[in-house]
């Protein structure tokens, strides 16, 4: 009986000291209006993705959808993976994007970028070895989307 009680107390004491994972707040999908006809904007999106060397899984021009494969990126660049206790999660994240383009009249195009992110190898703070488990969900920092759509606007103007 005492051994069982000691074991329970040891487990409770060790879990009580463990840091809790605090996930970042997920932002809404990134939406933008591109001043340019759909065909020109579509070509600009494909060119901008090619220039950034983004591996594509699916391209459906008819429906205006482009889906990327997973991209490995340092946590903090495109992905915010939150905190463990008081320390930021550092390491690598797997990110993927789905872009939706729809014509908005003859002179503009609506673009929406959805992101999906998770840790691949991480550590608590800047010390320690990278570990693959547990996997934490991450949120977009918005940098990829902003840079991509700035490049699209530039290609459309050319």
9 pLDDT tier (thresholds 50, 70, 90): low
Q: What is the pLDDT of residues 23-49, one digit of tens each?
A: 777 778 999 999 999 999 999 999 999
**Calpha distance 74→78 (Å, rounded):** 8
**What residues does each domain of the chain span?**
20-157
pTM: 0.83
Span 86-127, pLDDT tens digits: 899 999 999 999 999 999 999 999 999 999 999 999 999 887
pLDDT bin (cut points 50, 70, 90) of residue 1 is low
Q: What is the CA radius of gyration of the chain?
A: 21
- The topology (CATH level 3) of 20-157 is TATA-Binding Protein (3.30.310)
The residue ranges of DSSP E strands in the chain, in sequence order, are 21-22, 30-35, 56-60, 65-68, 71-74, 79-80, 83-84, 87-103, 108-124, 137-140
The 10 Å Cβ neighbour count of residue 48 is: 21
């Amino acid at each position: 009986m005492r051994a069982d009680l000691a074991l329970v107390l040891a487990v409770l004491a060790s879990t009580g000291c463990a840091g809790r994972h605090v996930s970042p707040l997920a932002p809404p999908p990134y939406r933008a209006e591109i001043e340019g006809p759909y065909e020109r904007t579509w070509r600009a999106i494909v060119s901008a993705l090619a220039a950034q060397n983004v591996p594509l899984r699916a391209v459906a021009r008819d429906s205006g959808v482009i889906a990327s494969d997973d991209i490995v990126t340092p946590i903090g660049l495109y992905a915010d993976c939150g905190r463990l206790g008081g320390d930021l999660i550092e390491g690598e994240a797997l990110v993927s994007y789905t872009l939706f383009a729809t014509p908005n009249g003859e002179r503009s195009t609506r673009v929406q970028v959805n992101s999906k992110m998770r840790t691949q190898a991480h550590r608590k703070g800047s010390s320690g070895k990278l570990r693959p488990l547990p996997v934490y969900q991450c949120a977009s920092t918005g940098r990829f989307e902003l840079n991509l759509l700035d490049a699209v606007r530039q290609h459309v103007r050319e």
